[in-house]
Amino acid sequence: MRSLRNFFLYKCLFALTFWNHVSLSVGNELFTSVSNNSPEDGSDRKINNLPLLYAKSHQSKANFDWVVIQNTTESLSLAEITNKNVKKLVALLSNFRQGSRLQNLTLTNVSVDWNALIQVLQTVWHSSIQYLSINSVTQLSRIERCDFDYSGTSMKALIMEKVVITSMFFSQDDLYKIFADMNIAALTITDSKMIHMLCPSSDSPLRYLNFLKNDLTDLLYEKCDKLEQLETLILQKNKFESLPKVSLMTSRMKSLKYLDMSSNLLRHEGADVQCQWAESLTELDLSSNQLVDAVFECLPVNIQNLNLQNNQISSVPRGVAELKALKELNLASNRLADLPGCGGFTALEFLNVEMNSILTPSADFFQSCPRVRELQAGKNPFKCSCELRDFIRGERQSGGRLFGWPAAYMCEYPEDLRGTQLKDFHLSELACNTVLLLVTALMLTLVLVAVVAFLCIYLDVPWYVRMTWQWTQTKRRAWHNHPAEQEAVLQFHAFVSYSERDVLWVKDELIPNLEKGEGCVQLCQHERNFIPGKSIVENIINCIEKSYKSIFVLSPNFVQSEWCHYELYFAHHKLFSENSNSLILILLEPIPPYIIPARYHKLKALMAKRTYLEWPKERSKRALFWANLRAAININLPMADGRRCEEAD
């Protein structure tokens, strides 16, 4: 918000110190005499000099000096005005008739009776003085009604600060009427505990009113239509409570442009209460009050500069009356969770939302508010996320309109980023683009599914899962049906697994040489040892469980047999579950690697890591083959009649 321009304008007029400025003390012992050299005929002839004779009170004897006030004096400051020297002050001021150079007068620490104060004011009113400032005024006696002559004055502005009324019983009209009817452009009464001010008796020329830091209430200027020329009204730090009543007060001020109602107790809850503001009002300061979201239902339609700082506003309601002329909006130190849109503020150029509760500002703010030239959004508890990244990107694309960037913009959440400036916060496009993230995740999922499906097909995983399930079910059924048989008793030296196409070699070579030769080897063969009525899988498992070893006759025919694969799988499962060395591999015919199916990866692993017996084509080598095979079996099992092989021999 811009400063109180008019207020400072008038204040500066009093504060100016010219080369010909004179400060005098007119205390009880200091002010001694005044020589009046003014023309007796009342003509406008210039005063050559004005001698003032004064004595220093701290000396035992009077020590007189001369102080000369030249006729070019424009500003004069006097202090310590009391009832004892006020007549001398009046006599002094009487020298400065209209047409003199003296324009600015400041009186400090004034402690006089009511009549004496009126006499001083009346004297000033008919002098050349235009700007009068009285600081620290103590009114001693009872206030009485008096007549005041406002005619023929040069006065333009009056400032009274820190006025104290000691009398407790007086008519307020007698006090306030003097000031209400003053025919000047600017009136300031501040820090004086003033509770009321009358409406002027006639149309007032006042253009500037400043009642800062008093006790004024909603009753001020109620139904007053005599301030039609008033342009600036400052009521900061008073006790106003109703915003609609304030609006009604201004409705008759046809020229009002600036209104300061900051630091009051203003509320507006809505409740269908109509607000009537002066149509001329363009600047309004409502900061430091108790206003909520409903305040946007009670604002001047032609407002251009609006200050709502330090209230209790949590959002700007949608659908409120449009403020098409609003250019500056201050919402700092409220409870906003997001940036307000510009739907109702089409001309907005400056927005202040500092020190609110904004975590992630809307990314489309700059698109919805194209006329905003400056945004103050620092000192908010920003949550550094993708939404915030999009907001920063939108701000940069719009030309960089953030005020205070980058120092005032820091991450508050998450904790590991607290204190990080937003300019140093970065997230990848993949992390923030939901569509891209979903597409990427979907592609990765499809690739993963494809890889898993390929591996499942290549390694025949479904087959192994099915076999594991069958093995588990078979073991469970066996446990429930024959729990006493679960501690398996070895009945065979070896279970023989082979392809039906290699059955002649098994019957003509393997079985005769092992069972009828040395060692009493007992083999388990599916044709003679599978139990009718049981499933093939259950028979395979039972035979492997009851056999010390499992012999696999490998050939190109073997790898083409599904049942051979089952038998190899279950035997391999026993190998790992019992941590035993129960597999014996016989390579009947060479197996080219390319004909081994992919699902036979266990067979490939076994042939690569384990030693196997290769069936020799030369007859001379076969005796050694059988000897090695018997040695690999190498176990002494009881025979069917309870005897062991050694006993049978």
Beta bridge partners of residue 357, listed in sequence order: none
SS (H, E, C) 404-422: CCCCCCEEEECHHHCCCEH
Strands 49-54 and 65-70: antiparallel
Q: Quote the pLDDT of residue 18.
A: 35
Q: Quote the pLDDT of residue 200.
A: 96
- Report the distance separating Cα 125 and Cα 179, nearest Å: 13
- Report the distance separating Cα 228 and Cα 202, nearest Å: 11
333 close to 355: Cβ distance less than 8 angstroms: yes
Percent helix, strand and coil across the chain, each rounded to 5?
35, 20, 50
Q: Quote the pLDDT of residue 124.
A: 95
Give pTM, 2 decimals. 0.65
- Report the distance separating Cα 638 and Cα 649, nearest Å: 13
For the beta carbon of residue 170, count every other beta carbon within 10 angstroms.
16
Instruction: Give every CB contact of residue 269 below 8 A, 6+ residues apart in sequence.
Output: 292, 294
326 close to 349: Cβ distance less than 8 angstroms: no
- Report the distance separating Cα 24 and Cα 17, nearest Å: 14
Torsion angle, alpha carbons of 36, 123, 28, 78, to 10: -90
Which amino acid is located at 589 in the chain?
A: E
Element (H, E) at 51: strand 49-54
Q: Which of 266, 365, 382, 283 is nearest to 323 (CA)?
A: 283
The DSSP string of 170-234 is --HHHHHHHHHT--SSEEEEESS-----PPPSS-----EEE--SS---TTTTTT--S-TT--EEE
Q: Which of 521, 538, 539 is nearest to 584 (CA)?
A: 521
- Splitting the chain (649 residues) into consecutive groups of 10 residues, what average pLDDT does each group show? 44 39 42 36 36 33 32 80 93 88 94 93 94 93 89 95 86 90 96 94 96 96 95 97 96 97 92 88 97 93 96 88 90 94 89 94 85 92 87 75 89 90 82 77 90 76 67 64 58 87 89 77 85 80 84 85 71 58 84 75 72 86 86 68 47
- Provide the 8-state DSSP code for 242: B
